[in-house]
Structure formats: C-alpha cells, structure tokens
C-alpha cells in the first residue's frame, strides 16, 4: 500500500505540474488539443483550420489574449472583428498560459506542415516576450501595459515561470520547439532568460534578514511584494514559489546565489507545511451548494497556504473586501469555493530536493587560486572563483605586492567587503557596462537602529590603497530611503571608469584625513548621494540627479583643508528634475568646491542650502570657479558661498588635494 501511495502521489504531482500554467482556463479542450494530440494530427485539415484561428487571434505586437478556446469555429463576422482588433494589441498577455501555449501549438504546426506563416507568427510571439520584459528582468501580466496591478512583476499562476521555460527550451535547444532562432535572436533570448533568473533572485523575500520565498506579484519598481486583486494581498505564496524553485532546480551549473535561493526556499517549505488536514469539497445538505472545508486527516499529504503573512508566515484568507481572516471557514461562500486557497505543489520540490542537493549542493573544498596575486572571478566557472567575495576571502592580508582581482562580465548579486587587512587590492572589471555588483539592502531592511545606513553598502572598502576600474556598483533597493552602493572607509583609494548607481546616499566617503580619487566615473542618485568626511577629488565625472534634492552632504572635519573637489565634471539630471542644490552641510565645517564644471539647468540659482543650520553659513566653505552651463549663475548664489579668484583656484591641484605620506596619486 505504501508503494501504491507513493506512485499515486507522483502521478498527481506530474499531472498537476503539467497543468499549472492553465489552471484558470475553465474549458480544458484547447489545452488538450495542444498537449495531448498526436504529432500526426497537426498535419490534418482540422488542425490547419484551428491554426488559422490562432493566427487571427494573435495581436500585431505578437501576443494572444487569455482564456480563449481557439478551436471553436469562427463566423465571418467574428473573423472580421478579430482582424480589426489586431493593431489595437488589447488584452495581449501571458496570464493563464496565454501566448506560451500558442507558441507551442504553432511550433507543432510548423513541424508537421513547414508552413512559413506558422514560423513567422511563432517568431513574432518570441519577440513579444522579449519586448515585454522589464529592464530589471521581470514581466508584467499584460503588455502593452494595462493600468492597475497588471503592471506588477507577475509570478501569479506561474506567468513568469511559463515565459522563462519557453526561453530556456529555446536557448538550450532542447528540441521542444521545432523552429530554430536566428543567431542574433538566440543571444537575445539567452540574455532575457538570464535577466529573468536575476530578477527571481532579487525578488526572493527576506524575512528578518533570512531568505524565504516569493509573493504572487512584486512591485515592478521596488521589487517588494505587492497587492493584486482585493483578496490577493502582499504575502508569501506557497503555490507560485514552488514552481519558481522547480525552475531554478532545472538550471545547469547553478550559481552560488541560485543554490542559496533554493536551499532557503526549501527550508521555508519545510517550516510552513500544514499536516494532519485535507481539503474536502462537499455538498451542503441544506442549500445543495458545493462547500469547501478543511477536515482532519492524519494520512493526508502536506499542504501550503496560498497566502502567508510576510512577517511570521501565518496563513490568511480574505473576501473581496480585502479583510484578512484566520480560517477558510471565515470567508464567504463565493471566495471560499471559487479560489485555490491551498496548494500541494511544494511537495514536488521536497521530493526532488534530496537528489538535486546531492548533485549540486555538496560542500566543495576551498579552492586555492593559481596565482594569489592575480586572481580571476567569473560567473561561468572559468576563473578561480565564481563570486568576488570568495576571491577576497582568498586574498593575502597586508600583502607585500598588489593583489589584482580580475572580474569577468556578469551580474554579481552579492555584498562585497574589502576588509582592513586586504590592503593594496585592485578590483578590475572586464567592462563598466558588463561587470555589475548589485545588492538591495536599505535602512529599514537592515533595521539595526539609527546607524543602519552604514550597513547597507553593496561594496564596502576598508582596506587602504584600493583601486577599482571598469565596473558598476548598484544598490537596487529603489526609492526606499538610505541605501548605499559604495562605502569607502579607507585611505588612498582610486576609482576609474566606474559607475555607482543608487538613490539616496549612493556613495559614502568616510575617514578623517583619508584621501580618495574618482576619475571618469558616473555617479547617480537622489538625495545627498555623495556624502562623508574624506577629502575626495572627482575629476571628469558625470554627476546625475534623479530627483529634486541635494547632490552632496559633506561632513568635512574642521582640521581638513579640503573636502569635496569636483573638477571638469558634468552635472546632469533626468528630464523632470528642475530644482537641485549643489550641496548642504552634514556637519558645520563642510567643504565642497566645483571647478570648471558644466552645470545643467536643474541646478538652483541659489546653489547651496544651509540644512537649516545658521552656524553652517559661518563655518562651511562652498565655492565655485569658472564653471559654465545653464545652471551656473554666480550672481544668484547664496551670499555665504564663494566664487574663487584665479589665484585662489590655483591651489586646487591633484597634488595639493591628494598629498599624503606617499605620492600614491602620481601615476593615476
């Protein structure tokens, strides 16, 4: 009996998983035609007639509407109406299996008939999937975008997983699809797939600092769990998360980040499974209506709630009024019987996990680099390490010669620490555009008290004589308050051809008496996005504002001759940004000087702000010299700022600003 039960469970899992994408299509006949028809059927006249319907339903943009029984005969009037809808592109979607199932049908038709029309419609559908993807790697429920919750990154009903499985089969050339992609399209598909996986990793929810699973939908900007319909509240989802994990488990040579994501999700599934009950659908004797109830069953398979609280995993239920209830029986008949409130899907994850873990999660012996002074980091495993932090762990402490860590192109989703004992380290990216270090910590997420800001950095440098070139450092938390991309608390540090991207508090330059040098770099943010007490020279850099606010917040110590010096920099902004201050004093003796910089019209005429500190007007030193552009209006600046004379500006040389016990800056 035990063996029979296991076989039955496995069969239920397989059938359930195959039907996941289409669980909301009420009439299953279209789904059966696509997935259960014999290959030779697709060459029949019946199949060709249906295929013509599929071509008619396809919108000009390449997608299809959902919940449509494509096999139903169409009248002349209906065909004319579909032709008129083509260019409107309305209701094109990937929800409920739409578009992905039509792509598979067209592939089967092309395989059976070699009809070029099916191939072109298929390729247009693939283009639709690529075009609909957000820059952050996610997909909305509808594209073109439809107002409302439809713009959220949508895992609900496995929409995004369905898309990624199509792209995965195409890029891996598994043979599931008979239509071959052109080389350039293959590269686009591969890039889109990788971006999608990165999005999955970035949206995995952290509960008190611990990775858990996913919500059915995530905000397309902040990536945080988001609300959909009134009864689909921000929550952790057992059903959708299971299929995300199954997708991650299908990846060949998974990265450490993917392995960690899977391990964390499995731990959550183990922690939150509901045992000793089952879902029963019975007929109410009094009303004669169907009623869904939870009843005891010690032999039942584990269940997971469709919605669990973000902070403590407590299951909840709700009617269309959006009010949370503790038990299924607490909500009304319509929602109680018309929605899948529990799922068995994570059982399949737990069933496959031990074999996957044995294959990919076996602890590896710490790898020693071939040359400890010249290491290579590569996501694809072709280097000494696959993560930057692994290389840092292997780096010599207080080395007698420079340690060079070459980082190949890739998105490295990790917090990187250059410790105080890791002096003379060079982090050299393959390219600024392709070598990206990213993480998403922010003040409230860290939640360690008033100084939480300083724990949010994606890249933290504490080792003196650090060099970084040709890479991008991002804090992707979004507009959620303080969130540092780069934190430098070290002396004699140099950054060249790098990009630092964030919102509030993008770059923190720390250390009384410390000297730091940014050359040919791009720095963007919203408020005080360059802040700190170090002496820093910014030369030939682009400083980009994303909102009306303040560029700098220097906290220069009183004893320091120089604070921030911007030379030959270009101050730019988003189109809607019109009111930006050059700086405000974090501490009274703040010093910030702009020399021969181009200032866009977004710079406010008054230029500087005292942060409501009258004393700062006496002690701070804010100055400009020979700048230009629409935002340079020296005659309108606040009276307590300065316009330098030529003789005064002469002292702002690289040597004077950066001089130290060594002439470390000479060859930079």
Per-residue pLDDT tens over the stretch 353-381: 999 998 886 555 556 888 999 999 998 88
The Cα 633–Cα 631 span in angstroms is: 6
Strands 403-407 and 374-377: parallel
Most confident of 275-289, 299-313, 615-629: 615-629
Q: Which is it for the CA torsion 207, 209, 211, 217, positive or negative?
A: positive
- Which architecture does CATH list for 512-668? 3 Solenoid (2.160)
Is the link from the previous residue into 73 a cis peptide, with omega within 30 of 0? no
pLDDT at residue 148 greater than cutoff 70: yes
Rounded Cα distance, 620 and 446, in Å? 32
Q: Who has greater pLDDT, 113 or 13?
A: 113
User: What is the 3-class SS of 89-108, one letter each residue?
Assistant: CCCCECHHHCCHHHHHHHHH
Identify the band that residue 3 occupies on the pLDDT scale cut at 50, 70 and 90. Answer: very low
Residue count of the chain: 668
| Ranges of CATH 2.160.20.10 domains, the chain | 370-510, 512-668
Give the model's pLDDT for residue 370: 87
Angstrom distances, CA of residue 651 to CA of 555, 557, 612, 656, 663: 21, 19, 31, 7, 17
* Residue among 319, 528, 574, 579 flagged as catalytic: 528
In whole angstroms, give the CA distance from residue 283 to residue 291. Answer: 6
Residue 284 annotated as catalytic: no
E strand or H helix that includes residue 84: helix 76-85
Which pLDDT tens digit goes with each residue over 442-491? 999 888 899 999 999 999 999 999 999 999 999 999 999 999 999 999 99
Which listed residue (27, 95, 505, 579) is catalytic?
A: 505
Tell me the sheet residues that pair with 535.
515
Structure tokens at 183: 């080389």
Identify any residues that bridge with 416 across adjacent strands, giving them in sequence order. 459
Mean pLDDT, residues 103-115 taken together: 96
The answer, yes or no, to whether residue 229 has pLDDT greater than 50, is: yes
Q: Please tell me the pTM assigned to this model.
A: 0.57
For 184, the token pair is 């350039």
- pLDDT value at position 287? 76
Alpha helices per DSSP H over 447-561: none
| Residue showing tokens 């669980």 | 23
Residue 635 buriedness (CB in 10 A; 0-12 / 13-18 / 19+)? exposed
Percent with pLDDT over 70 in the chain: 95
Residue 336 has pLDDT above 60, yes or no: yes
Is pLDDT larger for residue 448 or for residue 42? 42
Question: CA 399, 403, 405: angle at the middle one, nearest 5?
Answer: 150
The tokens for 195 are 């971006």
pLDDT tens column, 300-312: 889 999 999 999 9
Cβ atoms of residues 13 and 350 within 8 Å: no
CA proximity to 274, closest of 354, 206, 343, 205: 343
Verify whether residue 505 is a known catalytic residue.
yes
- Residue 1 — very low, low, confident or very high, per pLDDT cuts 50/70/90? very low
**Helix 183-203 vs helix 116-132: angle between axes, to the nearest 10 degrees?**
40
Structure tokens at 307: 């919605």
- Containing 295, the helix (H) or strand (E) segment is strand 290-296
pLDDT in tens, 169-199: 999 999 999 998 988 899 999 999 999 999 9
Q: Which helix H or strand E contains 291, and what residues bound it? A: strand 290-296
The phi and psi torsions of 15 (rounded to 5 degrees) equal -65, -40
Question: Buried b vs exposed e over 50-87: b needs ≥16 C-beta within 10 Å?
Answer: bbebbbbbbbebbbbbbbbebbeebeeeeeeebeebee
CATH of domain 370-510: 2.160.20.10
**CB-based burial of residue 334 (10 Å sphere; 0-12 exposed, 13-18 middle, 19+ buried)?**
exposed
């Amino acid at each position: 009996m035990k063996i029979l039960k296991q076989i039955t469970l496995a069969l239920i899992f397989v059938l359930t998983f195959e039907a996941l994408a289409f669980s909301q299509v009420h009439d299953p006949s279209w789904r059966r035609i696509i997935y259960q028809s014999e290959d030779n059927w697709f060459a029949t006249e019946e199949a060709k007639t249906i295929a013509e319907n599929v071509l008619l339903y396809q919108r000009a943009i390449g997608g299809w509407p959902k919940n449509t029984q494509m096999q139903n005969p169409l009248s002349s009037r209906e065909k004319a109406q579909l032709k008129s809808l083509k260019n409107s592109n309305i209701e094109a979607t990937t929800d409920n299996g739409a578009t992905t199932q039509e792509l598979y049908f067209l592939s089967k038709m092309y395989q059976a008939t070699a009809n070029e029309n099916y191939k072109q419609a298929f390729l247009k559908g693939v283009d639709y999937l690529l075009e609909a993807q957000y820059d952050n790697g996610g997909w909305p429920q509808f594209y073109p975008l439809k107002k409302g919750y439809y713009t959220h990154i949508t895992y609900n009903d496995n929409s995004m997983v369905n898309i990624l499985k199509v792209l995965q089969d195409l890029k891996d050339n598994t043979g599931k699809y008979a239509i071959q992609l052109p080389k350039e399209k293959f590269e686009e598909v591969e890039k889109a797939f990788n971006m999608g996986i990165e999005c999955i990793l970035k949206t995995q929810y952290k509960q008190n600092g611990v990775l858990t699973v996913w919500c059915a939908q995530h905000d397309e900007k902040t990536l945080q769990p988001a609300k959909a319909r009134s009864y689909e509240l921000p929550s952790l989802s057992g059903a959708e998360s299971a299929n995300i994990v199954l997708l991650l488990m299908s990846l060949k040579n998974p990265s450490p980040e993917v392995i960690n994501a899977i391990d964390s999700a499995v731990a959550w599934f183990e922690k939150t499974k509901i045992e000793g009950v089952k879902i029963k659908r019975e007929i109410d004797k009094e009303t004669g209506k169907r009623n869904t109830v939870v009843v005891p069953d010690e032999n039942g398979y584990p269940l997971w709630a469709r919605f669990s609280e973000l902070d403590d995993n407590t299951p909840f239920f709700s009617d269309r009024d959006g009010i949370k209830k503790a038990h299924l029986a607490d909500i009304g008949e319509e929602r109680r019987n018309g929605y899948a409130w529990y799922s068995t899907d994570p059982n399949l994850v737990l069933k496959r996990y031990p074999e996957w873990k044995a294959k990919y999660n076996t602890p590896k012996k710490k790898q020693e680099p071939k040359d400890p002074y010249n290491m290579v980091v590569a996501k694809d495993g072709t280097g000494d390490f696959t993560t930057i932090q692994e290389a840092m762990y292997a780096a010599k402490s207080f080395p007698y010669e420079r340690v060079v860590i070459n980082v190949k192109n890739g998105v490295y989703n990790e917090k990187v620490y250059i410790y105080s004992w890791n002096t003379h380290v060079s982090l050299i990216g393959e390219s600024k555009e392709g070598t990206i270090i990213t993480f998403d910590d922010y003040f409230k997420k860290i939640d360690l008290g008033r100084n939480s800001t300083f724990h949010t950095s994606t890249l933290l440098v504490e080792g003196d004589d650090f060099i970084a070139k040709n890479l991008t450092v991002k804090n992707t938390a979004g507009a959620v308050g303080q969130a540092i991309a780069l934190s430098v608390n070290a002396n004699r540090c140099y950054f060249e051809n790098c990009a630092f991207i964030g919102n509030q508090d993008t770059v923190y330059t720390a250390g009384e008496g410390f000297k730091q040098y940014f050359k040919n770099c791009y720095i963007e943010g919203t408020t005080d996005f360059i802040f700190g007490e170090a002496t820093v020279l910014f030369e030939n850099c682009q400083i980009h504002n994303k909102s009306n606010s303040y560029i700098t917040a220097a906290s220069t110590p009183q004893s320091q001759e120089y604070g921030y010096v911007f030379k030959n920099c270009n101050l730019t902004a988003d189109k809607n940004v019109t009111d930006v201050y050059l700086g405000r004093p974090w501490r009274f003796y703040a010093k910030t000087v702009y020399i021969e910089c181009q200032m866009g019209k977004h710079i406010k005429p008054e230029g500087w702000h005292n942060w409501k500190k009258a004393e700062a007007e006496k002690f701070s030193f804010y100055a400009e010299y020979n700048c230009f552009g629409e935002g340079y209006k020296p005659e309108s600046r606040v009276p307590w700022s300065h316009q330098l004379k030529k003789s005064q500006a002469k002292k702002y040389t690289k040597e004077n600003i950066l001089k130290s016990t060594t002439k470390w800056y000479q060859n930079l």
